[in-house]
Amino acid sequence: MTTEEPRPPLTLRDVSQLNVDRLNGVGEKRAATLRKNDIYTVLDLLRYYPRRYIDRTREARIADLVEGEEGMVVGRIERIESRRVRGNRSMVNITVTDGSGRLRVTFFNQPWRAKQLQEGAEVVLFGKAEVFRGGLQMTSPIVDLIGDQTGRIVPVYPQSEKTGLTSSDVARWIAEALRRIQPRTLGDPLPEAVREAHSFTDRNDAIKNIHEPETMGAASTARRRLVFDELFAIQLELVMRQREREATAVGVKHEASGGLTKQLLDNFGYELTRAQERVIDEIVDDMHRPHPMHRLLQGDVGAGKTMVALWGLLSGIEGGFQGALMAPTEVLAEQHHLGVRQLLEGLVVEDTVSLLAERPLRVELLTNSVGAADRKRILAQTIAGEVDLLIGTHSLIQETVQFFNLGMVVIDEQHRFGVEQRAVLRGKGPEGSEPDVLVMTATPIPRTAAMTVYGDLDVSVLDELPPGRTPIDTKWAAGPIEEAAMWDSVRTEVAAGRQAYVVCPLIDASDKVEVRSATETYEELTGGELHGLSVELLHGRMSGSDKEAVMRSFREGDTDVLVATTVIEVGVDVANATVMVILDAGRFGIAQLHQLRGRVGRGAHASTCWLAGEATTADGEQRIEALVGSTDGFELAEVDLELRGEGTIMGERQKGRNDLRLASLRRDRDMVGVAREAAIELLDANDPAIEALIDDSKVLLGDDDTDYLMKS
């Protein structure tokens, strides 16, 4: 008689290939419910983590509830009543007891509660305690059905009334999945040395203790390991992408003496900051390497990113290559074109096309507004190598746009472009090689988010403002008195020869949203608060030529006040503008408010940003207060992350889904660095476990996510 060889532990891929309907109690109807909640496999179910726990060893009792304060109790439903009240509204009343007392719970206009809640069921209630007719009551509390669970620590899972998923159902199915896994256990490819170095528990124990912990400490230890696994999967893919690019991608070889950049400095008129010098060194060093540069340039509003990008573009042009600068909007592309031509005026390059020794450096603009004749000329001169720097919008990635020798690409406000769009521009380089790519953003990203979202890019940060930038005083005009002072300040600044912006959330008035529109505001202001001033309107639905005419009038000082939508959010640079008014400011996000504020304070005069309107939510109030309290974009980015959460890390992939099931870039910021270091160490050492870890990362991220990371 031969003894059967013990089977190896299960891998994540093994568990990901088991459909959830393999579990007892999950028939077709239940499986359909789970699918509606993105649970298809046993692994999906095991990664459906508790959103909180009830520690039944420290459980609050009904008798301990305090009137006017929020509290949580666990009890059994004793009685349910459902009836209609005045106005044909429904009312469901339940009575809950826990041995220490009784609690009346009332739900208005939630008739489905009568079906959801059953007499004898065990529930968790969280809400504000009130006294009603001498007894304790809660009105519309948060309800979790936990079933008859007698454990010391009870997990509470995300529930869905819409799909009929309850915490007790999830707990029962997960218990079944854990029971079925335990004979073989869940394998752990993470080397023991890494586990010991960071005091990580074994993966099998982590999965068991995140769902069925004996103590809160065990749940915390389990969470820490599983958070690492999520972050490690992302970092491993990003570092692999970086290593692959360094090993296989062929870059263009740049050789520049520095003559053009010296001329640029002479035209620029003032000294570079230390931060600009540091970042320029990083970019030039990249450009001399054999593999293509892929660098993210982060810099706060007004930190001098354009100057740094131009330095890189000129270094490429001086070596005989062409440069491209892609911006997300026509207004910004036109602004770049105007500013860059001014800075590069008088610069000459070697003429490689004709017999002349040198010629003026050529900068052209290509947007959808460029006329057919000019477009034809620009395309022909670009492919012939006569255009040194082509600035444009999405037009640059059209098939008709071909370069003679593209060596350097700069993408401004890169988060507004899709992965594929960036890849198309990168693919327009010389045959067999890729141009260097610098992507810029004026939306500061917290360090942990940058390491996670852009972990396959080298990151440079401009953390110092150039001299001459005046601080911006930010004020909140929350009511009529402050708004009167706001308009008075606009009139005062215009009388002193300055200019102002007024920004509105919408182009036209809307019945659905009670916010001020640009067209409505323009009409009101020209006939009211700003009567007698030169006021112009700018929005995204205007033709390119009309937009350019309005912007030219404002830049040249012929327009006193520009009423606009967020079309002016990035890149618009008018040094004489000293007042920014943002109407219905509570409707904008922190990053957008900070961007808009950055349109003023660009000259020598003191500037003010007014945030107008009441905050309609607590978050809106916190956003406005954060802007009033700080002009540091990186500090505001951290506040934004706290308020808004991470959202989808690979944001362009699937709207509304969070890639991180358990990890939080806020709570677990230190773990991001730990995960990245471990990924680099294990990859570079070619650790024997690396293949299994790579397979795990593909399972955790999913093939679509991995493809996304590989493209980005």
- Domain C-terminal end among 584, 601, 630: 630
Nearest to 363 by CA among 340, 346, 383: 340
**How many CA atoms within 13 Å lie on the side-chain side of 678?**
28
What confidence tens digit (pLDDT) does each residue in 5-64 have?
A: 678 899 999 999 999 989 888 888 888 888 888 899 999 999 999 988 877 666 668 888
Q: Give Cβ neighbours of residue 297 (< 8 Å, ≥ 6 apart).
A: 279, 283, 305, 308, 309, 438, 439, 440, 441, 460, 462
CB 136 within 8 A of CB 129: yes
Question: Measured between alpha carbons, how far is 459 from 450 in angstroms, rounded to an integer?
Answer: 8
- What domain count does the chain have? 3
Residues 487, 621 within the same domain: yes
* Residues 394 and 489 occupy one common structural domain: no
- Alpha carbon distance 600, 606 (integer Å): 9
568 and 504 in a common domain: yes
Q: Is residue 36 part of a domain?
A: no
Q: Please check whether residue 332 lies inside any domain of the structure.
A: yes
Provide the whole-model pTM: 0.65
Tokens for 527, please give them.
């006939």
- Name the more confident of 148 and 228: 228
Give the confidence band of 513 by pLDDT, cuts at 50, 70, 90: very low
Q: What is the pLDDT of residue 377?
A: 95
Residues 441 and 560 in one domain: no
Residue 552 falls within a domain, yes or no? yes
Same domain, 489 and 455: no
For residue 687, give the DSSP letter. -
Residue 312 per-residue DSSP state: H
What does the pLDDT read at residue 89?
82
Compute the distance between CA of residue 566 and CA of residue 588 in angstroms, rounded to an integer. 10
Residue 65: give its domain's CATH number.
2.40.50.140
* Number of other residues whose CB lies within 10 A of the CB of residue 257: 10
* Angle formed by the axes of helices 305-318 and 330-343, nearest 10°: 60
Q: Would you say residue 452 lies in a domain?
A: yes
The domain in which residue 351 lies consists of 259-462
Residue 540 located in a structural domain: yes
**Residue at token pair 């959330």:** 505
- The reply to whether 518 and 453 lie within a common domain is no
Buried b (16+ CB within 10 A) or exposed e, 191-205: beebbeebebbbbbb
Is the domain of 492 the same as that of 410?
A: no
Q: How confident is the model at residue 265 (pLDDT cuts 50, 70, 90)?
A: confident
Residues 457-493 have pLDDT tens digits of 788 888 777 776 777 899 998 888 999 999 999 999 9
Mean pLDDT of the chain: 83
116-125, 188-197, 199-208, 277-286: least confident range = 116-125
pLDDT per position as a tens digit, 56-100: 666 668 888 888 887 888 888 999 988 887 777 888 999 999 888
Final residue of a domain: which of 126, 156, 186? 156
List the one residue out of 202, 273, 201 whose CA is nearest residue 467: 273
- 3-state SS assignment for residue 463: coil
| pLDDT of 448 higher than 70 | no
Q: Let me know whether 294 and 328 are in one domain.
A: yes
Secondary structure E strands in 327-421: 348-350, 358-360, 363-366, 389-392, 406-411
Percent above pLDDT 70 for the chain = 87
In the numeric block, the tokens 């304070």 are attached to 601
212 vs 261 pLDDT, higher one = 212
Instruction: Provide the angle, in degrees to the nearest 10, between the axes of the packed helices 703-711 and 216-248.
Output: 40
Same domain, 514 and 615: yes
**How many residues are listed for the chain in this entry?**
712
Helix or strand holding residue 495 (H, E): helix 480-495
Run of H or E residues at 72 = strand 70-85
Average pLDDT over residues 103-126: 85
* Crossing angle of helices 203-211 and 167-181, rounded to 10°: 150
Are residue 443 and residue 338 in the same domain, yes or no? yes
Task: Provide the token pair at 331.
Answer: 């207004």
Could you tell me if residue 420 is inside a domain? yes
580/477 same-domain check: yes
Mean pLDDT of 283-310: 86
Look at residue 327 and give its three-state secondary structure. coil
Residue 712 inside a domain? The answer is: no
Boundary of a domain, candidates 442, 462, 482 = 462
**355 and 452 assigned to the same domain:** yes
Dump pLDDT digits (tens) for 376-396: 999 999 999 999 999 998 888
In a domain, 150, yes or no: yes
Query: What's 524's domain CATH number?
Result: 3.40.50.300
**pLDDT at 280 > cutoff 90:** yes
Q: Is the pLDDT of residue 498 over 70?
A: yes
